[in-house]
A and B are shown apart, each in its own frame.
Chain A
Amino acid sequence: MSAESNPPIASLRAVPAGEGPRSSGLTYQELLDTDTRTVPDVLRMESARELPVVRVPIDRYTSREFHDLEVEKVWKKTWQFACREDDIPEVGDHTLYEIADMSVLIVRGEDRLIRAFPNTCLHRGRALKDRPGRSPSLRCPFHSWEWNLDGSLKALPCRWDFPHVKREEFGLPQYGTATWGGFVFINMDPNAEPFDAFIGDLPNHFERWPLEDRYTEAHVAHLMRCNWKAAQEAFMEAYHVISTHPQILSGIGDANSQYDAWDNFSRAITANMTPSPHLGHDPSEQEMLESILTTSLDAEPSFRVPDGMTARELFAQMARMQLQANAPSVTLLTDAELNDSFYYSLFPNMHPWGAYNKIVYRFRPNGNDPDTSIMEVIYLAPFRGKRPSPAPIHWLDYDEPWTEAPELGPLAKVFAQDTFNLPNVQRGLKSASHTHVTFAHYQETKIRHFHTLLDQYLSQ
């Protein structure tokens, strides 16, 4: 079907930034006025951007050609989260970051600096490393060409046979690296903008919730039968809650969530322990608590909201008590920070959650297949004393349920609700006779922001 048969519709035009209708429910800023602690500026902030994208062609999610374009224009050009610093704590530690069909080797050098190289031998191209590990040098298993950890050529057997190989010309090519919040970022493009300019103000947003002081408590990687963008877009809005997570509707401010966009990152804030504007009635404080904790109707509730207290206050107090041992500063955190979901997205595929929600998502294509992807859930937990070792990656096959990963706790069943839709999204997209998917103006701000940035990368 050609694009002409589906001309732009006037009502789909983007409404100017910051304008347009909103849910009739309590706004997030109004809810913040009820907080028992001083609300920091980061939560008071609102930010709109001009986002021309209100719909995108379906082949973005289904075509190999578009995937190839993404490889050339995005994955080979942009900064991306490759690993955590504590994945490679010691000299000689190395790990691999795989994106599309490319492998990047990330190494901790003698000088303790982190460097990234294409994972390929300059002799005949074998991958230098097959898996993460620790080694005093980088030696190719094929013919034993060997590089120092800083990428300089160290030695090769039968040196006499390579008079044309000059040591200074055969250092491993180096990719850009940067760190923030304990994350290691890489960039394959030598002409890329500096990382600080790319990440912008995001580090300031996380000042109260330092992610470098966390360790990887859980790391689950799940193969998905859908395009990586379809997968991540399921985690960038609260619009789906009414249909996908009905059990929590009594206690979640879904349609009245707040959405913000900055240069390369965006944010959604969804309040918990507050009723959904969709409800036809006002739930009690106890009902809201039981909804979020999904208490069975025929079971005794594990907690009762005391008279004169709200569910938000109770839940915040419980969270403060729980977190206090490992993060003493939580006593100062607002009820909002202990109840609500602050889900940031850094272009193109990293989704760190704010406050103490622990979640970081990452979505990647699965090799070069536009119809499958890899979704990772990483829990970053606070700790006291010696930094615990990061949890190894727990891989789940396409059809394995999230509940096979007990380290995810009760959220495993919520992820299962989200990803239940995803293979069927891909199936539906491939069955479409229409040409575009269409986004909500406000509640799908983050998705529109992503595709606006994607368009910018593709046009460069």
Chain B
Amino acid sequence: MKLRHPLTHDTYEVRSDGTVLVKTPDGVEGIFRDDGQWVRGALHEADPHLLGFIAGPQLKRRGPQAANAPTGGGPALPPQLSRHSRSDNGGNREMDLGLEGRKAIVTAGSRGIGLSIAELLADQGCDIAICARGEEALEVARKNLEARGAKVYTASLDVSDGEALESFVQTAGEELGGLDIFVSNASAGGGPGLPAWEHAFAIDVMGTVRGIGAATPFLKASDAGSVVVIGSTAALEFLGMPQAYNAMKAALISHASDMAQALAPKGVRVNVVSPGPIYFEGGNWEMIKQAMPAMYESALQQCAIGRMGSPEEVARAVVFLASPAASLITGANLVADGGFTKRTAF
């Protein structure tokens, strides 16, 4: 790019290293950065507006999610935005997760860890389908995800209803125009007694088995199909009492490992993220903190980093494994627990 200043008639030409060569009609030259900083040459000052225009940040490529205008008014309040150091730090390259325009399903995606995963995927440019039981929370989540620029499909269902789950996956794949990512997140949680075992089996195990099954035809068609199953450190070490939750999560880690082998030839990766104690409002650990303070305190003390995790921290691990950036990783169980478990994970 080369421009002439209409008043001074100086020419401004961008060089291959991003600096700008400024030349006056008398042949005096200087080299400048886009922010106006002089680099070298006899000419020591140039127009910062023109330098910025010609060599500053150029228009970002328009992603597919920006092209089809999403619905709903956006958030009225600024989100927590981070400070960007990109321009200060020319040597740093951002890692591209390659998620722009991808399509993802997150089961139980209306709150907690599931919602955090859906939000982060949406932030990376994915279109999202989520299911959950409660319609109100689903609707809130939908607006939230749409405000992040995602195309969103939601369905209210109970994951223990296998047919409803399969039909949701099928419809989501059709509505979004394909599927690249399936995150199996729904869980019955803990609870005493035999009925809890059957319920946990229906949701945690069968929900994952049938969900992956229904998603597989779409994932095979993708050039970067991937499954992430949410496990738990409860499957890895003893957690206070025997319960269905722990055993079901162990079954999932085992099944995911099998599926990683079975689907690898089809180009589909399968991994597990096993969170340790994750604290959020309305979550289990908030309830435990109030109802069983001794258990909460004991768990907190076991967290080597001195605190419990947040849904966002789990989401970052899931989104990485789900993304094409993790192309070499399959059959892994990534433990995200802040040092809660003490075993050596060879």
Contact present for B144 and A250 (CB under 8 Å): no
Q: Indicate whether A301 reaches chain B with its CB closer than 8 angstroms.
A: no
Contact present for B66 and A276 (CB under 8 Å): no
Residue of A nearest to B48 (CB): A420
Q: Indicate whether B139 reaches chain A with its CB closer than 8 angstroms.
A: yes
Contact present for B147 and A392 (CB under 8 Å): yes
Cβ–Cβ < 8 Å partners of A374 in chain B = 78
Q: Indicate whether B15 reaches chain A with its CB closer than 8 angstroms.
A: no
Query: What CA separation (Å) do A394 and B7 show in the bound complex?
Result: 36
Contact present for A132 and B76 (CB under 8 Å): yes
Cβ–Cβ < 8 Å partners of B48 in chain A = 420
Query: What CA separation (Å) do A394 and B53 show in the bound complex?
Result: 22
Q: Indicate whether A200 reaches chain B with its CB closer than 8 angstroms.
A: no
0/1 string, A266-294, CB within 8 A of B gives 1: 00000000001011100100000001001
Interface of B is mostly: loop
Contact present for A395 and B70 (CB under 8 Å): no
Give the interface segment out of B56-64, B159-167, B171-179, B286-294: B56-64
Q: In the complex where A134-B139, A247-B53 touch, is A405 in contact with B78 (Cβ < 8 A)?
A: no
Q: Indicate whether A50 reaches chain B with its CB closer than 8 angstroms.
A: no
Q: Indicate whether B47 reaches chain A with its CB closer than 8 angstroms.
A: yes
Contact present for B146 and A392 (CB under 8 Å): yes
Q: Indicate whether A400 reaches chain B with its CB closer than 8 angstroms.
A: yes
0/1 string, B176-189, CB within 8 A of A gives 1: 00000000000000
Chain A, 269-325, CB within 8 A of any chain B CB: 276, 278-280, 283, 291, 294, 296-298
Cβ–Cβ < 8 Å partners of B74 in chain A = 132, 219, 391-394
Give the interface segment out of B79-87, B190-198, B200-208: B79-87
Interface residues on B, range: 35 or more
Query: What CA separation (Å) do A393 and B72 show in the bound complex?
Result: 10
Q: Indicate whether A5 reaches chain B with its CB closer than 8 angstroms.
A: no
Cβ–Cβ < 8 Å partners of B136 in chain A = 135
Residue of B nearest to A418 (CB): B49
Contact present for A132 and B75 (CB under 8 Å): yes
Interface of A is mostly: mixed
Q: In the complex where A132-B75, A404-B60 touch, is A413 in contact with B53 (Cβ < 8 A)?
A: yes
Q: Indicate whether B4 reaches chain A with its CB closer than 8 angstroms.
A: yes
Nearest CB of B to A297, in Å: 4
Contact present for A416 and B56 (CB under 8 Å): yes
Which of B1, B57, B59, B136 has its CB near the most chain A CB atoms (within 10 A)?
Answer: B59
Q: Indicate whether B240 reaches chain A with its CB closer than 8 angstroms.
A: no
Cβ–Cβ < 8 Å partners of A157 in chain B = none
Residue of B nearest to A249 (CB): B6
Cβ–Cβ < 8 Å partners of A390 in chain B = 69, 71-73
Residue of B nearest to A408 (CB): B59
Contact present for B81 and A223 (CB under 8 Å): yes
Give the interface segment out of A8-16, A189-197, A237-245: A237-245
Residue of A nearest to B61 (CB): A406
Query: What CA separation (Å) do A397 and B5 show in the bound complex?
Result: 31
Cβ–Cβ < 8 Å partners of B66 in chain A = 406-407
Residue of A nearest to B35 (CB): A420
Query: What CA separation (Å) do A392 and B2 show in the bound complex?
Result: 36
Report the 5 A-B pairs with minimum CB-CB distance, sorted nearest first. Answer: A393-B74, A392-B74, A389-B71, A87-B73, A397-B81
| Residues on A facing B (Cβ under 8 Å) | 83-84, 87-88, 95-98, 103, 131-135, 217, 219, 221, 223, 242-247, 249-250, 276, 278-280, 283, 291, 294, 296-298, 374, 388-401, 403-410, 412-414, 416-417, 420
| Residues on B facing A (Cβ under 8 Å) | 1-7, 11, 47-50, 52-54, 56-63, 66, 69-79, 81-84, 87, 136, 139-140, 143-144, 146-149
What are 27 sample pairs from A and B whose C-beta atoms fall under 8 A apart?
Answer: A98-B77, A132-B74, A132-B143, A219-B74, A246-B6, A246-B49, A246-B50, A247-B5, A283-B6, A291-B6, A296-B3, A389-B72, A390-B71, A391-B70, A391-B74, A392-B70, A392-B73, A393-B75, A393-B147, A403-B57, A407-B66, A412-B59, A413-B58, A416-B52, A416-B53, A420-B49, A420-B52
